[in-house]
Amino acid sequence: MSNKFSPDRPITFAEKIDAETALVYDLRVKLNGEDRYFIIKIDPDKQQEFLANVENRVEYILEDYGEILYRGWDEPSDELKERLRQLYGMFEEK
């Protein structure tokens, strides 16, 4: 997990290539009464099972479906959202 986010670090070429095919999700849950977020990169072979579990509210272990890139309480920071927007097109204004 790369929770060592730095908004000043440039995006690497490898990150740009990886982002083109990545299946990255922003998952929000309430754990023990606290709002949590998880930014998870799903293994393509497990995407359908993961989405079915989320939709059907089945209990599961995130790490079984991919890599947790970031996690935290409440909302991702604006800096992290901007980084994820740059890398994966997440948090785009509609």
Q: Which amino acid is at 59?
A: E
Least confident of 11-15, 35-39, 75-79, 90-94: 11-15
Q: What is the pLDDT of residues 35-68, one digit of tens each?
A: 999 999 999 899 999 999 989 988 888 999 999 9
- pTM, entire model: 0.74
- What is the distance between the alpha carbons of residues 78 and 84, in angstroms, rounded to a whole number? 10
What does the alpha-carbon distance between residue 15 and residue 77 come to, in Å, rounded to a whole number? 20
Q: So what's the pLDDT on residue 66?
A: 93
For residue 67, report the phi and psi dihedrals to the nearest 5 degrees. Answer: -105, 130
Q: Convert the pLDDT of each residue in 10-38 to its tens digit.
A: 766 566 656 565 789 999 989 899 999 99
